[in-house]
């Protein structure tokens, strides 16, 4: 069998391209329409991973020239207090996007909180109204990670029209929405999509048919080289900690056995530096969309 080494799809590079485009768009909105995109990130408690994510989101929004609020609340906040706070931001004309960082403390119902966000300000794309609009091909906002995956494919020149796409994982955050996005009869989609999950009998039978394999299984190196078709495009959404480096940094790996699969795939995303950087970038894109929508642009 011919050996090949896959071309790397760099999420860092593609995210940077989109951020440059957004920066220009924000400047144009300010100069032409006196509109400044506004984003609030709500953080409850001090979960270290959540603090890190929110800090990165805030830094990016400021770099792009947004009006940006970081609202930190103690873990002891009640559900009613949090709902009132969300309502205040729903009413605030300077805020176009509201992001509640998950997970929330156990005494707060995440579904109630996410459903309280005005769908026009739901820049995460998780509100049932926005999920429903995605299903029928009329989405206002695409969920950030799946939208990032689609952009990686489009900007890498991957042909999706008629392609066999296999998605491993059926979460509401990645698996189901990316399947729906690529299924739409639209540009950058129109694929034939199969979803595999823990109940799938013969996973490899499906994954070996994929022209494009998207893996969000939540399990380190779940997809090995023998499960991948020669020349497939592989998008690895997984981020798993598998120990520490001698310098004390977390060692990360994806849901795909990168070293083995890169010898068979035509293109592959690395972990880290693949899908990850795209998620925050698409959140920024959704916030700019929300600002334009609110201003009737």
Positions marked active-site: 57, 101, 124
Asked if 214 contacts 168 with a C-beta cutoff of 8 angstroms, the reply is yes
Tokens of 288: 């700019």
Distance between CA atoms of residues 193 and 213, nearest Å: 10
Report the SS3 class of residue 284.
helix
**Token duo for residue 231:** 């020349």
Q: How many CB atoms lie within 10 A of CB 27?
A: 12
- As given in the structure block, the two tokens for residue 126 are 């998780």
Q: Are residues 228 and 212 in contact, defined by beta-carbon separation less than 8 angstroms?
A: no
Distance CA 297, CA 291 (A): 9
Q: Count Cβ neighbours within 10 Å for each residue of 80-115 and write b for 16 or more, e otherwise.
A: eebeebbeebeeeeebbbbbbbeebbeebeeeebbb
Tally of CB atoms within 10 A around 211: 19
What angle is formed at CA 276 by the lines to CA 274 and CA 278, rounded to 5 degrees?
90
Measured over the CA atoms of residue 217, residue 219, residue 220 and residue 222, the dihedral's sign is negative
Going from the C-alpha of 218 to that of each of 12, 130, 170, 174, 245, the distances in angstroms are: 22, 25, 11, 11, 21
């Amino acid at each position: 069998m011919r050996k090949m080494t896959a071309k790397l799809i760099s999420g860092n590079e593609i995210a940077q391209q989109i951020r440059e485009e957004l920066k220009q768009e924000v400047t144009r909105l300010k100069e032409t329409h006196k509109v400044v995109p506004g984003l609030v990130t709500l953080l409850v408690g001090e979960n270290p991973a959540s603090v890190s994510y929110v800090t990165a989101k805030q830094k990016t929004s400021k770099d792009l020239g947004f009006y940006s609020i970081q609202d930190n609340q103690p873990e002891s906040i009640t559900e009613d207090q949090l709902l009132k706070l969300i309502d205040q931001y729903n009413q605030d004309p300077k805020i176009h996007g509201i992001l509640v960082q998950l997970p929330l403390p156990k005494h707060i119902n995440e579904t109630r909180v996410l459903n309280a966000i005005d769908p026009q300000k739901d820049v995460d794309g998780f509100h049932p109204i926005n999920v429903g609009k995605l299903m029928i091909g009329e989405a206002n906002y695409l969920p950030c990670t799946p939208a990032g995956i689609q952009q990686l494919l489009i900007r890498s020149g991957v042909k999706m029209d008629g392609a066999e796409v296999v998605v491993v994982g059926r979460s509401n955050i990645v698996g189901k929405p990316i399947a729906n996005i690529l299924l739409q009869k639209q540009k950058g989609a129109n694929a034939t999509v199969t979803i595999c999950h823990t109940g799938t009998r013969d996973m490899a039978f499906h994954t070996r048919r994929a022209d494009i394999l998207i893996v969000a299984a939540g399990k380190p190196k779940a997809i090995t080289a023998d499960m991948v078709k020669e020349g497939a495009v592989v998008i690895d959404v997984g981020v798993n900690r598998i120990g520490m480096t001698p310098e004390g940094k977390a060692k990360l790996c994806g849901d795909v056995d990168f070293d083995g699969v890169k010898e068979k795939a035509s293109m592959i995303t690395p972990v880290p530096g693949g899908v990850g950087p795209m998620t925050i970038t698409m959140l920024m894109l959704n916030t700019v969309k929300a600002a334009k929508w609110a201003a009737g642009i």
